[in-house]
Structures are given as structure tokens and as C-alpha cells.
Amino acid sequence: MHHTKIAGIGFYVPEHTVTNHDLMRHMDTSDEWIQERSGIVERRFAKRHEETTSVLGAKAARIAIERAGITPADVDFIIFATLSPDYFFPGCGVLLQRELGITHTEIGALDIRNQCSGFVYGLTVGDQFIRSGMYKNILLVGAEVHSMGLDYSTRGRNVTVLFGDGAGAVVLQPTDEQNQGILTSKLHSDGTHAEQLAFINPGCHSGYHDKETDFGYDESVEFGGLFLTQKMMDEGMTFPTMDGQLVFKTAVTKFPEVIKEVLDDQGLTPADIDLFIPHQANLRISQFVQKKLGLPDDKVWNNIQRYGNTTAATIPIALCEAWEAGKVKKGDLICIAAFGSGFTWGASLIRW
């Protein structure tokens, strides 16, 4: 059976930088407040009407494809992870295919909706396809354009200050080298608190999952449209919502658990990790997990300070940055892990 290696990697972030001081012009916040709670100093925002999620993904994908030594026409399957797709449907996978000019090949395209853990989930799915021999060049992309859907008033600051736009991509290929590539992955979910980190409205739920909340629904309206009311818009219910304390508490528990799980699966310990790349949700979470694992600073890669939380794109962006900086070398053991909305979480071990 083949193993799966990362043959090429690339990332792209928009040119427009938005600092904490820039956000202060729109909401009651401060650079100190944002940095203390998240570690974020600045983030990138896409150009409206020019850069969509699929466009960012295509820019990262072209870099990864070139570094893999192949052409877009050689890609035989696409996996696209995002929580901010261009459209409700179709998904970004086919839009990426179109951006790359490979629609004539009629390859498959799979969209992953696992938010912050989307890249880990996508990597695991791609790994299984490669191992089975079904595909030889899988393009896996994680991309987000959060900036188009955030509340830039003081009301939304707890969420808005955290997020940025960007994309990362890898090309997965089979390898016969022993002890190389993706060694193991573990995936988990628990939908108990699904609405505590969510983008609920507009939607097709008609209030089914939360009958206690007054969404301003008019019972006389029997048919028509998405579930969207004036009350939702007036009260900011059409923006992402998050119970920050619950997310933090759960993340710092699940991160170490799933990392220990992948290490135990391979008979390894945290000391064997050459580089740990956590999902860039919050610098405090990353530092907590780092301390729990007993890893020194030079074995952890964080870039949330510069890009904020780009959810499905954070791990491939950080992995590419680390590789470009010479921190990822052949034979190194790389651990990636993510936790996010759903709740979903997972981790992978990669022998570079």
C-alpha cells in the first residue's frame, strides 16, 4: 500500500493589511485588548469584487502545483475546505477547477465543511484516496474570505477582531518510501454545542433547533425564501456567533487529547515532534497546548499575529511559511492539529 506525501505546497494572502488600530475606527476596541485576548496584531482582507474564496484558493493552488512539478491538467481530484464559500451552492471545488482551467478533464471535486478542522479532515480523506490507489495527484485547498461577512460594529467585536482572509494548498501524491508522508490521522466531533460557534442566519432551519429564541418569525408567512426576518437584521443575528469561554475551555482539552492519540498510535511522544503547527485560532490556546506538550518555542509555528484566524486555511498557510523558512526538513516529524465549529477536531502526523 502506498503512503501519502505532500509533494507541493503554497499559500496566498491578500495584499491589504488591516491592523488592530484600523479596526478601532469602526468599533470600541484597542490594540492592547485584542492582543491580550488573541495575540493578533493584524490580518489580511480580500479585495471586494475581485478576490473570492475560490480565487484565493486558486492562487495558492498554482504555487503548490508548480512546486510539485506537475501542471493543473495532472490534478485528478480536488478537495476544497472552507466555511466561507463563494455561493451556498455549488461549492468552491468546481469554481477552483474553473479558475485553474481544467474543466475539460471532468475530475471529481469534493467540498469539506468542517470549518477550522477542514484542512485536517481534507488531508485525511485525500490520504485514503492515495493509499487506495484511486488517485495520484490530489489538490487539497483550505481558503477563507471572512471579511465579507463580519459585524464591524462594537456589537460584533468579540468575533470580528479574530478573523482574516487567506488560502493554503498542498498536492498529495503516493510514495513508496518507508516511514514517509502521512503516518496517521484521528478525527472527532461532538454536535452537542453546535450553535455556540456558528453562523446561523440566514438559513433553512426555520428556528427548529432553537425554539426558545425569538427570531421574529411571522407564522402567517407559510412559504418563501430563507429564514430571514427584520428582527434578525436589526439585532445582528445574521453574523457569526461564538461562546468564547466554552470554545476556549473545550479546545484546550481536545487539542492535547487528539495529539496524544496520534502519537500513541505511532508509539511516539511529544519529544519526537520536530515541529508542531496548531490551527491558528488563538495564541493563548496554542501556548497552552504547547506548554501541555512540553515543547520549546522553536518547535512550534504560530503566525496568528500576522494573519488572524483564517480557519481552514491556517494550517496550510503556517505549514508553507515554516517550510519556506527552512523549519520543515526531510525526515522531520510534523504534527498538525485543529479544533473548531461543530465541534470538530483532529490531528495528523506527517514524516516530511
Q: How confident is the model at residue 208, as a pLDDT?
A: 82
Q: How confident is the model at residue 210, as a pLDDT?
A: 81
Q: Are 147 and 45 in contact (CB under 8 A)?
A: yes
Residue 307 C-beta-side C-alpha neighbours within 13 Å: 30
pLDDT tens figures, 85-141: 999 999 999 999 999 999 998 999 999 999 999 999 999 999 999 999 999 999 999
Average pLDDT over residues 325-333: 97
Asked whether the domain spanning 181-194+242-351 has the same topology as the one spanning 3-175, the reply is yes
Q: List CB contacts of 170: < 8 A, sequence separation 6 or more.
A: 6, 7, 8, 9, 10, 64, 123, 139, 140, 316, 319
| The domain defined by 3-175 carries CATH number 3.40.47.10 | yes
Distance CA 25, CA 252 (A): 32
Question: Which region among 51-60, 203-212, 320-329 has the lowest average model confidence (pLDDT)?
Answer: 203-212
Question: Which amino acid does the sequence have at 108?
Answer: G
3-class state of residue 35 by DSSP: helix
Of the two residues 326 and 217, the one the predictor is more confident about is 326
pLDDT band at 14; cut points 50, 70, 90: very high
Distance CA 110, CA 205 (A): 24
Q: How confident is the model at residue 25, as a pLDDT?
A: 96
Q: What is the DSSP string of 77-104?
A: EEEEE-SS-SSSSS-HHHHHHHHTT-GG
Helix axes 283-293, 244-265, angle to 10 degrees: 40
Q: How confident is the model at residue 202, as a pLDDT?
A: 83
pLDDT tens figures, 224-260: 566 778 888 888 888 999 999 999 999 999 999 999 9
pLDDT tens figures, 69-81: 999 999 999 999 9
Q: Are 12 and 51 in contact (CB under 8 A)?
A: no
Q: Which CATH superfamily is domain 181-194+242-351 in?
A: Thiolase/Chalcone synthase (3.40.47.10)
Residue with cell 426558545: 212
Closest CA relative to residue 5, chosen from 168, 263, 178, 180? 180
Q: How confident is the model at residue 217, as a pLDDT?
A: 72
Q: What is the pTM of this model?
A: 0.96
Q: Are 327 and 238 in contact (CB under 8 A)?
A: no
Q: What is the DSSP string of 308-330?
A: -B-GGGHHHHHHHHHHHTT---T
Q: Are 79 and 127 in contact (CB under 8 A)?
A: no
Neighbours of 9 (CB within 10 A): 24
Give the DSSP H or E segment for 41. Answer: none
What are the domain boundaries of the chain?
3-175, 181-194+242-351
Catalytic residues: 116, 279, 309
- Write the CA distances from 305 to 143, 173, 286, 315, integer angstroms: 18, 32, 12, 14
Residue with cell 491538467: 73
